[in-house]
Amino acid sequence: MKDFLWGSATASYQCEGGWNEGNRAISMWDRYLHDNHLENGDVASDHYHRFEEDIRMMKEGGQNSYRFSIAWPRIIKNAEGEVNQEGVDFYNRVIDTCLKYDIEPFVTIFHWDLPDYLEQNGGWLNRQTTEAYAHYAKVCFEKFGDRVRLWTTFNEPRYYTFSGYLIGNYPPGHQDLQETVTSSYYMMLASAMAVKEFRNGGYQGQIGIVHSFSPIYGVDSTVETAIAARYAENFYNNWILDTAALGEIPGDLLAELYGRCDLSMMKPEDLELIKSYTVDFLGLNYYARVMIAPYTTGETTLIVNNKGKQAKGTSQTIIKGWFEQVRPESSQYTEWDTEIFPEGLCEGIRRVWNKYRLPVYITENGIGLYEDVTVEQVDDRQRIEFMDSHIHAVMQAKEEGCDVRGYYAWSPFDLYSWKNGTEKRYGLVAIDYEDGLKRKPKKSYYWYRDMIAQDQKN
């Protein structure tokens, strides 16, 4: 398929390094990881210095698109909104290099690395951050919009707010329902504000949002499970997708939150703006489905395994009064408790297309593995099997008539994987962190290249 985008995806903090170069401001992740003496992304994959090598390898690997994020702290110096020309120059070089190699740039405006000067003033709990974000987005459109045709406002706002404000395993490390609701609302408002800037500016191309997509499966067909599934759909998916695509925050979710949370920040003029500026397409990051059962007992419990094999089997989700997650014993799981279930990707695309009728891109899909990268070539056949089954699921949905326009492997090369550090490897290309960050294509790199070549013949 000549018009289908085959690519791979990264995030600025996870790959760039160069944390104190190019007049870059400090991010909330710099502050959090340094203060807590945790493994950090100061160097990461050193994409900041080696992006041309990495993009050239994407091209040699048959890819025709690269999804990457712009680091807000590289573009905007301070709370006054001053533009950092060195940061603009860096991303101009990245974009121009993509075009040099016939790689379509697919740009995410925000992938979690909030400038620390905003975080110190409340971050996404402060309405002023939405205005700062709209300004930052407009700067991106103005500086790069002549060459970028595909934009997304946010990467995984659900995962960001739930991890930072509800589970507490990511910065700012809070566990507060009110803060979760407030930050979630402001991020979705900011997304609509960016869409407004994009539309009013008359920029080329399209703008969407990227969601950490988990299709919901119930354990049975009882009424109780159907009700629990609706709670789970609102919790995992609807408040992002309905708000971004339909311009409506689910009413039954608001009804559940009313009385438990202060919703006074939801101004009528905001809701009108959200209604008026919906996205052009949806990006879905798919790693696994969620199987749920009706709630039985216990307090709300949210445990995410960020320790891999040391904590395998510890992940747990219970939302008191709503639902609880079930992990089928018959399924296969990664060392980080992620179920391997490619059928969920086809079914998920089908559901999203039928509900929203917007083009879909699979903006992330991949598997994290422990790997010895000192060998000449990593034989990552488990990744090949994973990608093959999931790509088949994408193609099945496309053949059924769903408007799927691209698939992006996470990731083109090994990255810093947030709280999982660098031992959790997703890359098609190995990076030897102990040997000068040497790049070595894995077996999956060549498999993906050949699969793309075969598809493009059809």
Please tell me which residue in 269, 364, 376, 434 is annotated as part of the active site. 364
Catalytic site residue 179? Answer: no
d(CA 455, CA 296): 48
* 19 Cβ contact list (under 8 Å, min separation 6): 27, 30, 40, 41, 42
d(CA 432, CA 57): 16
CB 18 within 8 A of CB 24: yes
Helix 381-399 with 443-457: angle, nearest 10 deg: 20
Kindly state the tokens that stand for 365: 């899909």
Side by side, the strands of the sheet bearing 316-319 are 216-218, 290-294, 323-326, 316-319, 301-303
DSSP character string of 264-285: TT--HHHHHHHHH---SEEEEE
Locus of tokens 């949002």: 209
d(CA 287, CA 293): 20
How would you classify residue 278: left for phi > 0, otherwise alpha for psi between -120 and 50, otherwise beta?
beta
Catalytic residues: 364
